[in-house]
Structure 1
Amino acid sequence: MRNTGLDAQGYIEREGSLGRVPRAFRPVVAAARERLLDVFGPRMTSAYLYGSIPRGTARVGRSDLDLLLALREEPTEADRADARTLDDALDKEFPEIDGVGTLLVSRAQVLSDLETYDLGWFVACLCTPLLGEDLAEDLPRYRPDSLLARETNGDLGLHLARWRERIAEAGDSKEAQRPLVRFMSRRLVRTGFTLVMPRWNGWTSDLAEMAEAFGAYYPERAAQMRQAAVLGYEPGGDPDVLHAYVENLGPWLAEEYARVHGVKAPRDRRV
């Protein structure tokens, strides 16, 4: 029997916890907690971990440290500069991690009506409290339904033009192409999964499991999605893969997503 990621009432369970952080990553988590307090202090209402480290699936030397900070006010350029400095320092000090990414948002944004089924869901279900108040207490419970699907990933079509620009900017550089392959692979697999999530009736963050769930409903695209899941974990620099994403898989997925779930409420955001 598969683990659906749902509780007995059919709501998505929060997937991570500090108790699941692997022993090798505990020193970097402790350092992040201490430095976030030093750097952001009263500017910050909440700090969270997300990704493979709090899920307990991180790989030493391969996984990155993902942080989300909810600030009292809208993030400023000075806040972003402080976050980049903190990220760089942690990445250099701890060889156990392969990069640090700190996402800055405001408390008001997390709790806004517009973000209830996107950023709010992300905080409530995919983020593990590290510091401060847990904003999940002011958010609803979530089911794997069409509304959640639409508001999390129903904007893929809006981003494909920017993806093409980023591919052009990377040129022939394998070093520049590799993070694009990783990012786009993960986004496409997650979008493919949430396309079928209401029928699959569950939640998972495992890319391979996401691809298999998708493939059960779209067998003609299953091989493409399985390849994307592999590249999401082990990306290479491959322009053919990138061009296939923005000229084939991406446009098809965006069109099918809009047909099935509709289009996400507009945001002033570029990805």
Structure 2
Amino acid sequence: MSGRGLDPQGYIEREGSLGRIPHAFRPVVAAARDRVLDVFGARLTSAYLYGSIPRGTARVGRSDLDLLLALREEPTEADRADARALEEALDKEFAQIDGVGTLLLSRARVLSDLETYDLGWFVACLCTPLLGEDLAEYLPRYRPDSLLARETNGELALLLPRWRERIDAAADADTDMGTDTDIAEALRPLVRYMSRHLVRTGFTLVMPRWNGWTSDLREMAEAFGGYYPRRAAEMRQAAVRGYEPSGELAVLRSYVDDLGPWLAEEYARVHGVKAPRPDGP
């Protein structure tokens, strides 16, 4: 790797490998591999790991297990129910992980023209093969350019109304909860998700100028701050919350009332808007 996540030709290197999985997480990955085969069998064409575990940066008791499963056909509701049951079983059995997330997709969707610079890039560069064929063999190599920026994170303006609905629902639920601790715990996953999404969007906004790739939230925030110093402190704070989320409703409100709208407008100005998907953003 020549630096900043690129190979000597300037293409984004694939991050992660099975060899980088920390020892404490290897039993989790082994169980996940076996159970994915048991549950999906011939329906499965490919299974991948992504996130901190294959990157070797996972923290025991704090990191989640992230899976991407590509099926031979479009996932059904039964498939999604099977995936949820698999997630719950693994999370319950292994204290090393704090949750399991599964992206369930069809092989055809991953390899579609529409997804070449979004899901295709994600599989080719950010996912580590676990089972089956590696779909990266059918995909191009990727540079950190404006097309990739637009197609990976150019939908923030469409997401913000949904985020507001989720925040409003969380605020309404506050009255039904007991202590402040209960409320904070309920909000933490939302803070973590939105913080990470905003930091990644901020990073891909500047990615072509920075000319590289990283999945480290703090490094992403620093790269962003080099080009947008007036927003640098906010992005650094969001990166911290992406790793150590606080359950504060005010933080979520600031994301959808200030940082998010500004970032969506600037993103559209610089890179344009992501091509619409039939099922929305």
Within a 5 Å distance, the mapping from 1:136-175 to structure 2 comes to 136-171=136-171, 172=174, 173-175=183-185
Identity of aligned residues (%): 83
CA RMSD of aligned residues (A): 1.0
Cα deviation for residue 178 of structure 1 reads 1.0
- 1:226-267 deviation line (CA, Å, top 9, x unaligned): 000000000011011000000000000000000000000001
TM-score by length of 2: 0.95
Within a 5 Å distance, the mapping from 1:244-259 to structure 2 comes to 244-259=254-269
Give aligned pairs, total.
270
> Which AA in structure 2 matches 1:64?
D
2-structure distance, mates of 1:158, 1:96: 35
Quote the residue 2:109 is aligned against. Answer: 109
1-structure distance, mates of 2:148, 2:27: 35
Quote the residue 2:177 is aligned against. Answer: none
Cα deviation for residue 175 of structure 1 reads 2.8
Within a 5 Å distance, the mapping from 1:59-138 to structure 2 comes to 59-138=59-138
Cα deviation for residue 270 of structure 1 reads 5.2
2-structure distance, mates of 1:27, 1:19: 13
TM-score by length of 1: 0.98
In structure 2, list runs of 5 or more residues that go unmatched. Answer: 175-182
- 1:85-132 deviation line (CA, Å, top 9, x unaligned): 000000000000000011100000000000000000000000000000
Quote the residue 1:179 is aligned against. Answer: 189
2-structure distance, mates of 1:16, 1:31: 19
- The runs of at least 4 consecutive aligned structure 1 residues that moved more than 6 Å come to none
SS at match of 1:98: coil
2-structure distance, mates of 1:240, 1:211: 21
2-structure distance, mates of 1:174, 1:76: 34
Quote the residue 2:10 is aligned against. Answer: 10
Determine if the alignment matches structure 1 residue 23 to structure 2 residue 33. no
2-structure distance, mates of 1:105, 1:131: 15
Determine if the alignment matches structure 1 residue 223 to structure 2 residue 233. yes
Distance 1:248 1:269, change over 3 A: farther
> Which AA in structure 2 matches 1:150?
R
> Which AA in structure 2 matches 1:4?
R
In structure 1, list runs of 5 or more residues that go unmatched. Answer: none
